[in-house]
Amino acid sequence: MHQIYRITLDDALPLLAAGRAKAEEIGVKQTLCICDDGGNVLALHRLPGARLTGVDISIAKAFTAAGHERATHLFNEAPDGPALPGNEAFGISHMLPGKFAVFVGGFPLVFDGQIVGGVGISGGNGAQDKAVGAAILAEFEALTAAVTGR
């Protein structure tokens, strides 16, 4: 038997705040999504002026990162990205149309070795999405360190 951890709305809101601060700092209009370990949206924030399409894209990135326990850009990173043509998961994004993202902007949230959620970021280029993701993950690490004392 093992303990199961859950991320809550109270956990997600500071993550969105950290992401928003970074997006504003680098001058990009993004949509940010935090989901739980089942891929269910806990919190979503579309910054003023962010693209309408960013809502669905950020949700798909968070879902994919939580569900597959990896950053979404790793699916297409050469040479071994599993979703690249000729590799074992090529075409995987067609299995869950509209829900599965295999490009930059999705990051898993891991606590004590368990996936507790996912982050989805949409609206910037790859480097911008990664920068905002790094800010969100740093905030998550700070929050979990405060809880565990580590």
- pLDDT, tens only, 132-148: 999 999 999 999 988 77
Give the model's pLDDT for residue 119. Answer: 98
Helices H / strands E in the chain, number of each: 3, 4
Please, what are the domains in the chain? Answer: 9-148 (3.30.450.150)
d(CA 7, CA 43): 11
Query: Among 67-71, 84-88, 110-114, whose mean pLDDT is lowest?
Result: 84-88
Contact assessment for residue 1 and residue 30, using Cβ atoms and an 8 Å cutoff: no
